[in-house]
Structure 1
Amino acid sequence: PYYARPTQEALYRWYATIAGEFPHLPIVIYNVPSRTAVDIHPQTVARLRHAHDNIIGIKETTKDFEHFSRVLHLCGRDFLMWSGIELLCLPLLAIGGAGFVSAAANLAPATVARMYTAYTTGDHTTALDLHYALHPLVDLLFVETNPAPAKWVLHQRGLIASAHVRPPLIPPTDAGVRRIEELLAQSKEIAG
């Protein structure tokens, strides 16, 4: 695990350096404080956005919906935001988010795609039904440290060659596998 937590100024300089070195490439910021112990503040995101035309969006993996709203407000409606928190996907779309980067889509791609399409075509009832149907799969992803549970399921389905995860992660424990199987049974109709 990384040890040093950068300040907002250090984060700004890091992304500014990347954006400056590769002005022809679109850059997407990734904010994942649960993994990095550092939150990229909305003001820092806005400062980057307004200084570099090629910073086009952010993957927000926070549970702070106010944070989502502030970033979108400060960065403008053409700034793209994707949610990395499964259960905040639909609310983010409602305030102008572009979509989501879904780990659950690895396990139920058709269902996640149908949910997105239903929402964006105005069928909010279907979108909400699918959103709630996905809850057991979302819970499954975090029975133990993700991506271990997802890789275990994909390997069991024969979709990937190995459930191996890089250390210090480990494959799901026996207790974890039992819980994963319970949650898969609850979501059998959508999980394939």
Structure 2
Amino acid sequence: MNKFHGTGVAMATPFHPDGAVDFGGLEAVINHIIGGGVEYLVSLGTTGESSTLNKDEKKQIWKRTVEITNGRVPLVAGIGGNNTYEVLKSIEEFDAEGYDAILSVSPYYNKPTQEGIYQHYKAIAENSPLPVFLYNVPGRTGSTISADTTLRLAHDFKNIIATKEATGNFDHFNHILKNKPEEFLFISGDDPVTLPLIAMGAVGVISVIGNALPRVFSAMIRLCLQGDFAKARPLHYSLIEFTALMFAEGNPAGVKYALKELGICGDTLRLPLVGIGEQTAKKISEQLQVL
């Protein structure tokens, strides 16, 4: 099985109450997730609050992640942005030792044309020492990598090996899945719709809730990949309410609270993100007891 088939987890970054990176908490999170049987980890994606970390912090987190993981699972590094030249500089300075791929979000805020998006990823593909995952999340970026642009990139660059899709648009998904190169990986970027996407041809998910519940979620994904949807569906339905709560007041506020409740790390976030409210916290606690 391809190393990126199954469950990848976009890891949360634990912070001390004063906002400093909690490397002890990071070790606990990594060991918890790997112990839950997931297939790979994504360091410093959106859930890792990468937008509020400075360059030195990112380097330290990437280095410690390699040391803690110690080859137990493949690693993907989140390196993206809306300034193509800064992204290329970050890739140039990135110590790729121990990492297997780069996940790069589509440029946000600028709202580039499709040709601009293509040229952005062309530059990344031509400069990256590692395979590249596209990351299409219009709810955060303000623009969409169209299905045609995704397919153009997939066909033109052998080291663009996957797309993480979080558009929620099944017409978009259908077009990519029908027309992509056979070896190009379609990965769900939304926990709640991963089961139907695997039925359509996706190879797995990069998950948020896998931070908190890696064992049950990765078991459900493996059942889907084996074609055993009859056994996967009850697990899928059991997670619906918990998954909704994870995003009720924004990511990663919900999953960080769940990690705190599980005794793995604290739930401090960096501004402008803030913790969840009392009612949501109570519901998450209740769901954790049930699950």
Question: What TM-score results when the alignment is normalised by the length of structure 2?
Answer: 0.60
Secondary structure of the structure 1 residue equivalent to 2:186: strand
CA contact (8 A) 1:165 1:171 kept: yes
Question: What is the aligned counterpart of 1:50 among 146, 151, 155?
Answer: 155
Match of 2:32 in 1: none
4+ aligned runs moved over 4 Å, structure 1: none
Does the C-alpha gap of structure 1 residues 183 and 157 become closer, same or farther in structure 2, counting only changes over 3 Å?
closer
Give the corresponding residue for 1:167. 271
Aligned to 1:12: 118
Where do 5+ consecutive residues of structure 1 fail to align? Answer: none
1:131 match: 236
Q: Does 1:115 align with 2:216?
A: no
Assess if the C-alpha contact under 8 Å between 2:187 and 2:204 holds in 1.
yes
Quote the offset at 1:183 in angstroms: 3.9
Look up the SS of the partner of 1:111 in the other structure. Answer: helix
Contact kept, 8 Å, 1:86 with 1:103, in 2: the verdict is: yes
Q: Provide the rounded CA distance (Å) in 1 between the counterparts of 2:165 and 2:264.
A: 28
Report the 3-state secondary structure (helix = DSSP H, G, I; strand = E; otherwise coil) of the residue aligned with 2:231: helix
Does the aligned pair in 2 maintain the 1:119–1:127 contact within 8 Å?
yes
- How do residues 99-114 of structure 1 correspond to structure 2 at under 5 angstroms? 99-114=204-219
Which amino acid is the alignment partner of residue 185 of structure 1? E
Query: Offset of 1:104 from its aligned partner?
Result: 1.3
Q: 2:281 matched to 1:180?
A: yes
Shift of 1:187: 4.9
CA contact (8 A) 1:137 1:184 kept: no
Q: CA RMSD in A?
A: 1.7
Amino acid of the residue matched to residue 103 of structure 1?
V
1:78-93 matches, within 5 Å, as 78-93=183-198
- Aligned length in residues: 185
Deviations along 1:27-71, one digit per CA (max 9) or x if unpaired, are 100000011111100110111111111000100011111111111
The secondary structure found in structure 1 opposite 2:110 is coil
- In structure 2, the partner of 1:60 is 165
